[in-house]
Chain A
Amino acid sequence: MKYAPELKRSATIALWLILLTFPIMVIQVNTIENIVVWRWMNIAGVGTVAFVLSFLWQIYQHRKTESPLPVSAHLPAFQRLLADPKLYRPMLIFIAAFALVFPFTASHYQINIMSTALIYIMLGLGLNIEVGLAGLLDLGYVAFYAVGAYSYALLNYHFGLGFWTLLPAGALLAAFFGILVGFPVLRLRGDYLAIVTLAFAEILRLVLENWNALSFGPSGISNIPRPGLFGIELTLEQSAVYMYFLLIALCLLTIFVIYRLQHSRIGRAWVALREDELACQAMGIDKTRAKLTAFALGATWAGMAGVLFAAKTTFINPASFTFMESAMILAIVVLGGMGSIVGVIIAALAIILLPEYLRVLGDYRMLLFGAALIGMMVFRPRGLITPSSRTYVFQPSEHQERT
């Protein structure tokens, strides 16, 4: 038997997991009725699943140590695809065509969740500035999102301002809030920053929940207008299509701006800041300023996404801005591969669309989603796509740059 030791180990692990899950999986007590239900069949389930998974895992480990792949082969297929213009150009055209045709072939629901996914692409790319580029771990990104959404809802409610006025206004307000939060906390190192941003986001959410006079409390704000299109009346489905294209356009803008930022003096400064804060300062980079711009720019996109979110759902309340939301956006950034635009886009689509399509699985979908997050991290800890650095080619005397 080739895999005898692995099988034995898997059996041990399966036994351990059966024991471990015994009280929760097998015994169901109802302290209200004083009934105990013994579900012995579950043992078989846990055992089989644990055995198969741990066996596969060990085979995987075995293969990895036995035949380490050459470094070039470590680049995933997709990434090789990206590196070669002959391959990625047709691919881009295909994606563009798909994006164009999609709303006319898909159902209203499909368009709707795709729009949601597009909003999360914006959020992911925005947070990518903070976490992926500048290395500032922000666990309260949802606060900026909330600022955007509430700016639109409230300013529209009180002053009747329109979507197109409030889109930049929401973005600016979020940026301002970003600076406001950023100032006191920039002295803090990594994880302290994380918990403080989390705290700020929670405070904001609790204030929105309690301060009825300002925010209408937990019952939220309804009937937020959808964006207008030169005053044309749109049906629900038409406005969903309109919203979809609007989001596509804004996503393209986001990608463009972030790509430019990433490959600029500022973007380099952020990456340097992430790599080594002290050396970065010694290179003449103003740490405070670099961090604040990263915070403010990240917040700007969240603010914009917030406005779009409010306009899309037409209803907001504080329940949409919980810590779990921040965690999901962070998961998008990390899963995508920190600092990689393409990675973030793929991850956003996966994280938002997957649970939707997993609905087939009913109650098990969040369970599997959690497992998928762990699995993805274990198999690809650096995310789907490792951002590659730009290479330059020089002739020894004539310096020619090629990107």
Chain B
Amino acid sequence: MNYFWDLFLGGLTRGSIYALIALGYTMVYGILQLINFAHGEIYMIAAFTALIVASILTMQGLTGFSVLILAGVIAILYAAAYGFTVEKIAYKPLRQASRLSPLISAIGMSIFLQNYVMLAQTSDFLPFPNLLPQSEFLDSISAWIGPSDFIIIVTSSVVMIALSLLLKFTKMGRAMRATAQDREMAMLTGVSVNRIISRTFIIGSALAAIGGLLIASHVGRINFYIGFNAGIKAFTAAVLGGIGSIPGAMLGGLVLGLAESFGTGYISSDYESVFAFTILILILILKPDGILGRSSQQKV
């Protein structure tokens, strides 16, 4: 039973990160019907930025909480700025094109950003300092749940709740949802679609940055390639939950994380990703719109 609990927590931790990144995919998809393959790279860039800032601060003699906050905030801001810029460069000129053109542009962007970081920084793995705070409280529960697992699960839950509230109760949130429902209609009612799209990218990228920060601290190492796999998995999670659906992305991430964790624990880690993808296929065959996806009965 203990083993089960451990696997469950591990899955939850990983799932929370998937969910954070998946939110970016699902929000962008909801509005642009675009699979933003460069999203994973944003997560990687955020981790690098945090690492750079944190190292400089540590060398200046700062420690602990202030490093975490500063590095975190700067990384999130930068990720948001990257998301914003990527959209302006690679997707905005393609608003009128067929849906596949931005997809290829996104793949190009992903290749570009990976190589950009590799060339400007390094191809090696770098150790990532554990920025997550230590406290007596965390020590006291460490037998029951790992401190970083605890922080990741709590932080991502808080972030996701905050996002849900933002989308539900603010004017911007309503405008975003309206745009996702029907872009032309939203435009007619006076929503500036371009601004909404930019904001979507900014928020999505910031969420990915939080994910990047948490997981880099948890795993303790990063390189320029970490965004790619995480991106594919997170996208899978978004589809699993029903792409375009915010709670769907969260649920999808958790399901995927748990599936991988239990699959590894009870069957074999050889096929870790196979479990994730098999679950995806099975669920889509049973529910073609994902777990929480809006059913899309065609209008005739």
Contact = CB atoms under 8 A, between A and B. Distances in A.
Interface residues of A, number: 61
A196 B97 CA distance: 24
A363 B127 contact: no
A199 B93 contact: no
Interface in A351-365: 363-364
A188 interface: yes
B1 interface: no
Most chain B CB inside 10 Å of its own CB: which residue of A16, A31, A335, A371: A31
A374 B85 CA distance: 13
Interface in B186-227: none
A185 B285 contact: yes
A207 B274 contact: yes
Interface string B249-263: 000000000000000
Given A184-B281, A199-B236, A334-B100, A378 B105 contact: yes
A331 B111 CA distance: 13
B42 interface: no
Contacts of B55: 29, 31, 34, 36
Most chain B CB inside 10 Å of its own CB: which residue of A30, A42, A373: A373
A42 B235 CA distance: 34
Interface residues of B, number: 72
A367 interface: yes
Contacts of B121: 24, 28
A309 B51 CA distance: 42
Q: Which 9 A-B pairs have the closest CB atoms?
A: A373-B108, A370-B112, A381-B97, A370-B111, A199-B277, A367-B115, A377-B105, A29-B55, A381-B101
Contact of A191 (B35, B101, B129): B35
Nearest to B85: A20
Given A199-B281, A202-B277, A331 B51 contact: no
A194 B51 contact: no
B110 to A, nearest CB: 7
A371 B85 contact: no
Interface string B112-123: 111111011110
Interface string B232-271: 1001100100010000000000000000000000000011
B101 A377 contact: yes
Interface of B: 29, 33, 35, 37, 45, 48-49, 51-53, 55-56, 59, 74, 78, 81-82, 85, 89-90, 93-94, 96-105, 107-117, 119-122, 126-129, 232, 235-236, 239, 243, 270-271, 273-274, 277-278, 280-281, 284-285, 288-290, 296, 298, 300
A249 B37 CA distance: 36
Contacts of B274: 202-203, 206-207
Given A24-B49, A196-B281, A203-B278, A188 B288 contact: yes
A330 B243 CA distance: 22
A338 interface: yes
A20 B101 contact: no
A192 B288 contact: yes
Contacts of B107: 327, 330-331, 373
A241 B82 CA distance: 48
Given A36-B55, A184-B281, A206-B270, 14 more contacts: A16-B85, A24-B52, A24-B117, A24-B121, A30-B126, A42-B120, A185-B285, A189-B296, A210-B271, A330-B100, A331-B107, A374-B89, A374-B112, A381-B98
